[in-house]
Structure 1
């Protein structure tokens, strides 16, 4: 027993004292782990480089021809000069968000439009009441007469409905971005997409104020005829208000597209317009007739010269000679007639001068000859001739002649 126990003891002791060899197994594992880590770090570096490249390349953006852009660095516009702060069309780069942010706005050549219908009536109401409802129907006030025709203390006004079309552009992107509140774009939208709807309430409010002030300075007739001065005055006043707000908006045009009187007074306005048109027609005809008669009389210069007491006869003669129109024709005919009369008188004087010696010899014969020549000349110009020979026994004899023109004789004479 003791021997067996000793043998076992020696066997265990021998196993315990024998050295163990783990070196080869640990060297292979460590090497594999090191290789794996090295590959992992290499892949990670490549991924990080790619991510950095993608991050910075995402800062490249394009500005279209109808756009302008600004780069905000932590909310402040980047750049010192205007060219640096407002970027034009082409490729540009900015540090990606959140360091820098790109804001695009419509360019100056981009025209935006807003319709202003706040002064128009309710078109859905086809049966208007006797009175106008200011809650449902918009209107503006005009004067009854023009400013020039107004009398002292006169304050008569009229109501009209009007429609307007405002066209505008963003002239200063930086000023617009700083001073005009614009809705934050939703996902998939840009600032350009939300600007028209965001700015519309603001522009309508300012434009409405300009329209009210402008319309009250014009008459109802000028408004109905859509006088071009109304649009120009409203546009000018609106631009002044926008400039005072430093909003960077430039008014391109302010058009008065439609004007109409209240439907409740349709019959009265139609009658008034008809009377006004008739008065205008009569005034135009009168002025035309006046100008025609003045031109026939030789023009205003001749009339003023003849009636002026300060102009001498020589100057008046100059005006007469340079007259125009019918006066010139009358003057020419008068001069021709004067020449004809003078020449005829000279010819008659020469004729009588030649007959004087013969007349002194035989006066009765000469007078009879002159009488016969005169009768022949008179009868040669007549269309119908009636000769009645007197007789000694025809005392108190009735003589009747039909004085009606003989159509056959007249026609024969004309041929």
Structure 2
């Protein structure tokens, strides 16, 4: 094998055989190119449309920037931490949604499921509560630096708030009419506590996915709920009957009251008129007693005589005339 050309073995090449003078002329351009590449790679960064980024310089927070192309101090002096501030994050309690390539599946039997969902109500009953929290990042610098583990903080605070609200209400409220109030109040309380921690989190919604009695007593609860529904239906029917009957009775009552009032007014007016007539006659009587007495007698007789079947006019001084007419005391009385 020759001792020159491409066929020389590496062990046959000596250090002095390397053409250093030829290589040295390529070193400066190579270093310049490497410097430019490294500088450009470490000095420029891009923030996506749904993201924000915080800048750290020697580990200290400098600023928060929005989407777009930005520059920073290169060579690792400035560090960039990005976060999706427009994304809606979910935290599930009492269940887990398992995703696969074709569909999703809800898992109620993961390791901490029972501890999360089993709660005690205010009337010392048990309820299994499943709920979801949806939140966004509203202050990225607070989210990264003020709390060690934001996710665990949200989960711990949410469970404490939910247990407090469930413990303040009866099982009937939790299962039926109180769910909307619990959702609203839990969101307000959770937001207030997280704001006190400066977590940089904005709670969008708290949604109760399900509130159920524990399986051992579920049948009994269903029977009670069915009885309550029957009771409510009977009460509603009775209320309907009451609402139908009471207005009619009220109308009848008002009619009777108005008729009685009219009768009273009429009788009072009649009595007042009679009194006025009597007083007028009495005044005339006092002016001429004999004349008035005779007039009253004649007026009375004019009313009585037409009603008599038989009429006998007898002189008061005539004696023994009644037997002749065949009258007795009873007939005279008539």
Provide the TM-score with structure 1 as the length reference.
Answer: 0.49
Structure 1 residues 171 and 228 mapped into 2: Cα distance closer, same or farther (>3 Å)?
Answer: same
Does 2:152 align with 1:201?
yes
* Cα deviation code 1:160-190 (max 9, x no counterpart): 01101111111111111111225xxxxxxxx
**Which residue of structure 1 lines up, in the alignment, with residue 87 of structure 2?**
110
Which string of whole-angstrom CA distances, capped at 9 and with x for unpartnered residues, describes residues 134-159 of structure 1? 97784111133xxxxxxxxxxxx211
Q: Among 134, 141, 144, which residue is 2:120 paired with?
A: 141
1:279/1:76 CA distance change after superposition, 3 Å = same
Residue in 1 that maps onto 2:179? 227
The answer to whether the aligner puts 1:43 opposite 2:21 as a matched pair is no
Question: Which residue pairs with 1:269 in the alignment?
Answer: 221
| Alpha-carbon shift at residue 292 of structure 1 (Å) | 3.8
Task: Give the deviation of 1:297 after TM superposition.
Answer: 6.7
Aligned to 2:129: 162
Supply the distance in 1 between the matched residues of 2:117 and 2:20 (Cα, whole angstroms).
80
User: CA shift at 1:272, angstroms?
Assistant: 1.1
| 1:303 to 1:141, Cα distance in 2 relative to 1, 3 A | farther
- After TM superposition, the structure 1 = structure 2 runs for residues 65-214 of structure 1, keeping only pairs within 5 Å, are 65-78=49-62, 85-107=63-85, 109-117=86-94, 138-144=117-123, 157-181=124-148, 199-214=150-165
Shift of 1:40: 4.6
* RMSD across aligned positions (CA): 3.4
**What secondary structure sits across from 2:65 in the alignment?**
coil
Residue segments in structure 2 that go unaligned for 5+ positions in a row: 1-18, 96-106, 263-334
Q: 1:298 and 1:87, CA in 2 relative to 1: closer, same or farther beyond 3 A?
A: farther
Q: C-alpha separation between the residues in 2 aligned to 1:262 and 1:140? A: 10
- Cα contact 2:117–2:130 (8 A) shared by 1: no
The offset of 1:296, in angstroms, is 5.4
- Structure 2 Cα separation of the partners of residues 279 and 163 of structure 1: 29
3-state secondary structure, aligned to 1:255: strand
Gaps of 5+ in 1: 1-34, 79-84, 126-133, 145-156, 183-198, 314-415
Distance 1:136 1:247, change over 3 A: closer
Q: Is the 8 A contact 2:39 2:75 kept in 1?
A: no
Q: Distance in 1 between matches of 2:93 and 2:109?
A: 18
- 1:303 and 1:163, CA in 2 relative to 1: closer, same or farther beyond 3 A? farther
The structural deviation recorded for 1:100 is 0.9
- 2:329 matched to which residue of 1? none
Aligned residue for 1:61? 45
Cα distance between partner residues in 1 of 2:225 and 2:247: 33
Question: Secondary structure in 2 aligned to 1:143?
Answer: coil
1:259 is matched with which residue? 211
TM-score by length of 2: 0.59
Q: Distance in 1 between matches of 2:239 and 2:135?
A: 43
